[in-house]
Structure 1
Amino acid sequence: MRYFPLFMDLLNKAVLVVGGGEVACRKVESLVRAGASVTVVSPQVEPYIADLVQQGKCEWLQNFYSSECLTSKYVQVWATTNNPDLNHQVHNDAKNMGIMVNVVDDTPFCDFITPSMINRGRIQIAISSGGASPVLIRGIREKVESLLPMNLAIMADFASSKRNDIKNTYKTVDDRRKFWELFFRLPTVVDSKNNHELEKAYQKLKENKHEFVHGCTWVEFGDDVELLSLKALRLMQEAERVFYHKDCPFEFIDLVRRDAERELFKDIADVSDTITTLKQEGARVVVLIPQHFGEHRLVGACDTAVCLASEK
C-alpha cells in the first residue's frame, strides 16, 4: 500500500490553487465543498471560478504565480497549470516551506493524491489505484455507485442526531455498536425515505430491549478469499475479537473489522480458555481456521461454523 488513506479537515483552512483552467475548476469545486478557504492565483480564470469569486466563496489573485504568492498560512498547494516548469516551481516552493503540494497528473511531484469520491451527504467513499489506473477506478466507482442507495445521507444524519440519546440508553460502546448494527439492517430502515420512518423504527427497536447476539464462530479459510460467504464476511466485520491460525493468509485477516483485536495461534488449545471467557463476557468472537480443520471439535468454545465454499 503506497498511500495512507486519510480524510483531511479543511474547514476554514487556507489552500492555494495555482492555475485557473478546467483542471483548477474541478479542484476548487471540491475544496469549496469541503469548506476550505481557497485562493486562486492566475492571470485568467474560467467562468465557473469567476462566479465563485463573485459569490464570495473563494479569492482570486489576478496575477502570474511567483514565490511571494506562497506563505506559511497555506496548508495545501495545488499546481494545476498546463506549464510543467511552472508546476515544478510551485512544487519546489511548497517543499521548501514544508507545505503539502499536489501537482496534478504528475504523481512523482505529489505529497498526496485525490481518490475518486462517492458522496452521500455525510457518507464519503474514496477509491484509489495510487494513480496507476484512473479508468479502472472509474469503472469500480460506477459499480459501487449502483449499489449504494440515495437514502444513506438521511440515515447518516439521523444516526448523528441520536448519538447522545443512544449513549443514555446503552452505556457501553459495544452495546451501542450492536444496536446500530441491528437498526441499519431493519428492512424499514433500509427502505426509509424520511426521518419520520427512521424515528418510528428507532423507537420500536429501543422499546423491544433486544438481547444482543454473541458467541464464537469458526470460519474456514483456504487459498481463495473470494470463496468466503456473505455470512462469513458479516460475522468477521461484527466480531470484537478475532483469532487466526498461523497459516491464515493476510487477505482473510484484512477483511475483519479494523478495530477488532486480533490474535495469532498455532494450537487452538492455547486460546480455548480465552475464547470461553470472552463468550461469558458477551463478546462476539471469530476464529479463522484452515479448511477441514477437525481440531475445533475437541474444544467446547465453538457455537457455529461457517465453511468455505468448495471450489468447482
Structure 2
Amino acid sequence: MKKYPIALDLEQRRVLIVGGGQIALRKIKGLQETGAVITVVAPTILPEIGPLVQYQRQRPFEFKDLLEQELIFCCTDAPTLNRRIAAAVGQDQLVNNTSDKQTSNFYNFATITYDEVTINIGSDGQNIHKVQRVKQAIQRYLAKL
C-alpha cells in the first residue's frame, strides 16, 4: 500500500493514550501544540503527564475507553495488550501501536517548524532513533542560517 504524509487538524479531536510511562509522555509532548483533547489511561502515570492532559484515569485500561476516541496510542509495556487494543479499534479510528507497527494504521513524524516551513521526518515506524538523529542534525543546520 502506498503511504502519503498528511497533516491532521487535531483541534478538539479526542485522543486516547493507553499507558503512562516515558513513551506515553513523548507522544503527549508531541500533541501539545495541536489542541487535541487528551485522555490518559494507565494504572501508573508519570507525575509530569498530569499537567499536560485534560483527563487522567489512573486505572487499568478497559475496552470501553475506546468509545468516542478518534486517535489511540497504545503505549503500554505489554505488547499483547497493545495488540488487543489495536485490533479492537473501529474503522473510523486511527491507532498507533508503539510496540508493533504492523498493527498501526498511522505513524508519527518528528516535526521541525522553521519560519513558515514545516519539516516532517519519518521512518514508517522503523527507526525512531535515526529519525531523532536526523531531526537534531537539521535543527543544528537551521540554527546556523
| TM bracket (short chain) | 0.7 to 0.9
Letter in 2 for 1:37: V
Q: What is the aligned partner in structure 1 of residue 11 from structure 2?
A: 11
Does the CA-based 8 Å contact 1:102-1:113 persist in structure 2?
yes
Structure 1 pair 2–130 and aligned structure 2 pair: CA distance change class (3 A):
farther
Q: What is the aligned partner in structure 1 of residue 56 from structure 2?
A: 60
Give CA deviations for 1:3-38 in whole Å, capped at 9, x if unaligned.
310111101111111111111011112223211000
Give CA deviations for 1:114-135 in whole Å, capped at 9, x if unaligned.
1222234654211112233334
Does the CA-based 8 Å contact 1:21-1:46 persist in structure 2?
yes
Structure 1 pair 82–123 and aligned structure 2 pair: CA distance change class (3 A):
same
Structure 1 pair 141–32 and aligned structure 2 pair: CA distance change class (3 A):
closer
Q: What is the aligned partner in structure 1 of residue 23 from structure 2?
A: 23
Q: Distance in 1 between matches of 2:74 and 2:36?
A: 16
Q: Distance in 2 between matches of 1:137 and 1:66?
A: 33
Q: Distance in 1 between matches of 2:141 and 2:113?
A: 13
1:118 is the counterpart of 2:112: yes
Q: How many residues were matched structurally?
A: 145
Match of 2:83 among 84, 88, 110: 88
Q: What is the aligned partner in structure 1 of residue 122 from structure 2?
A: 128
Structure 1 pair 46–89 and aligned structure 2 pair: CA distance change class (3 A):
same
Q: What is the aligned partner in structure 2 of residue 148 from structure 1?
A: 142
Structure 1 pair 75–148 and aligned structure 2 pair: CA distance change class (3 A):
same
3-state secondary structure, aligned to 1:74: coil
TM-superposed CA distance for 1:108, in Å, is 0.2
3-state secondary structure, aligned to 2:32: helix
Question: Larger % of helix: which?
Answer: 1
TM-score by length of 2: 0.87
Q: Distance in 1 between matches of 2:115 and 2:37?
A: 21
Structure 1 pair 36–122 and aligned structure 2 pair: CA distance change class (3 A):
farther
Q: Distance in 2 between matches of 1:136 and 1:41?
A: 29
Structure 1 pair 91–48 and aligned structure 2 pair: CA distance change class (3 A):
same
Does the CA-based 8 Å contact 1:2-1:130 persist in structure 2?
no
Structure 1 pair 63–130 and aligned structure 2 pair: CA distance change class (3 A):
same
1:99 is the counterpart of 2:93: yes
Does the CA-based 8 Å contact 1:79-1:102 persist in structure 2?
yes
The structure showing larger relative contact order (alpha-carbon pairs under 8 Å, at least 6 residues apart) is: 2
Structure 1 pair 136–45 and aligned structure 2 pair: CA distance change class (3 A):
closer
Structure 1 pair 39–134 and aligned structure 2 pair: CA distance change class (3 A):
closer
Does the CA-based 8 Å contact 2:83-2:100 persist in structure 1?
no
TM-score by length of 1: 0.43
Unaligned runs of 5+ in 1: 151-189, 191-312
TM-superposed CA distance for 1:149, in Å, is 4.2
Give CA deviations for 1:214-250 in whole Å, capped at 9, x if unaligned.
xxxxxxxxxxxxxxxxxxxxxxxxxxxxxxxxxxxxx
Matching of residues 1-312 of structure 1 within 5 Å: 2-52=2-52, 57-71=53-67, 73-94=68-89, 96-120=90-114, 123-149=117-143
TM-superposed CA distance for 1:99, in Å, is 1.0
